[in-house]
Amino acid sequence: MSTYAIGDIQGCFASLCALLERCAFDPSRDRLWLVGDLVNRGPRSLDTLRFVRGLGEAAVTVLGNHDLYLLMLAEGFGKRSRDDTLADILAAPDREALLDWLRSRPLCHVEDEFCLVHAGLLPQWTAAKARALAGEVEAALQAPDHRTFMANLWGSEPAAWRDDLSGWARLRVIVNAMTRMRFCSPEGEMEFRTKGEASAAPPGYLPWFAVPGRRSADTVLVTGHWSALGLKITPNLLALDSGCLWGRHLTAVRLEDRAVFQVDCSPGEARG
């Protein structure tokens, strides 16, 4: 059995199929770990969502910011962007089944020495702490009144974690760290405006994974979200968003031996 961790797909379904063929992925014996952002901006978000759901227990996927955005739009919240490619999901006959399945996905997944999360973890959090905090968000997503959570989800404040945070502010910080963060201060204050390369960190901020003394450094973080960072492999980080949506590559790393598999973005899938 092999486990293949794959970067942001974002509706690039043809590229995903090509990558799985290159990996010789067999759902009867192998597993996929998907870093989130299954949907949006690419041309085949509906096909991607149906395919991953159909893999059942052969696929573990965590929620990314675009996945949460889809869930918000479905509840009537959020502001649509002209770059969205979610209309086919929202109009699909199996829409509710797909959205219910997506809403039941974890925010982070911890197994053995690995932690799968879309964006990253704040420096104060161990992987075990992050898993517990993710459970709070997952309970809100799956609660009967989950629509209220969606109404209070978006926003960039508060920008830093405190153990005494409560209510929507607490859940918002957890979501933002795990699905939106790129840069933070050594004290864990997040900065969301900058989206460039790691070298573009604003004064006083660092890439989240470079903060000295980060408490999750004893765990291998498997992430996506940061296409400008590109593929980055270190002893405790597998950052897998290699920019397929932007015409570069879709990447898989086999967790057992760190073998790298890549395909070029398929024709017609890249955004300009």
- pLDDT tens for each residue of 85-139: 999 999 999 999 999 999 999 999 999 999 999 999 999 999 999 999 999 999 9
Pick the closest to residue 245 from 30, 87, 60, 38 (CA basis).
Answer: 38
Specify if 17 maps to a domain. yes
Instruction: Look up the CATH number of the domain holding residue 118.
Output: 3.60.21.10
Identify the H or E element spanning 183.
strand 183-184
Specify if 240 maps to a domain. yes
Specify if 271 maps to a domain. no
Specify if 217 maps to a domain. yes
User: What Rg do the C-alpha atoms of the chain give, in angstroms?
Assistant: 17
| Residue whose entry in the numeric block shows the structure tokens 């932690």 | 115
| Residue whose entry in the numeric block shows the structure tokens 């690419």 | 42
Looking at residue 201, the DSSP 8-state letter turns out to be P
Q: For position 272, what pLDDT does the model report? A: 60
Specify if 247 maps to a domain. yes
- pLDDT tens for each residue of 138-191: 999 999 999 999 999 989 999 999 999 999 999 999 999 999 999 999 999 999
Specify if 218 maps to a domain. yes
Pick the closest to residue 222 from 235, 211, 208, 237 (CA basis).
Answer: 237
The helix/strand/coil state of 239 is strand
Pairing mode of beta strands 183-184, 206-207 = antiparallel
**Residues 46/89, Cβ–Cβ less than 8 Å:** yes
Nearest 5°: phi and psi at 140?
-70, -40
pTM (global) more than 0.85: yes
Q: How far apart are CA 150 and CA 140, in angstroms?
A: 9
Q: How far apart are CA 244 and CA 225, in angstroms?
A: 12
Pick the closest to residue 46 from 4, 2, 87 (CA basis).
Answer: 87
Nearest 5°: phi and psi at 126?
-75, 170
Specify if 269 maps to a domain. no
- pLDDT tens for each residue of 34-85: 999 999 999 999 999 999 999 999 999 999 999 999 999 999 997 788 889 9
Q: For position 69, what pLDDT does the model report? A: 96
Range of the domain at 170: 3-264
How many folded domains does the chain comprise?
1
Specify if 69 maps to a domain. yes
Q: For position 172, what pLDDT does the model report? A: 97
Q: Which two tokens stand for residue 143?
A: 């609660």
Sorted by sequence, the CB contacts under 8 Å of residue 20 that are 6+ apart come out as 4
Q: How far apart are CA 134 and CA 179, in angstroms?
A: 11
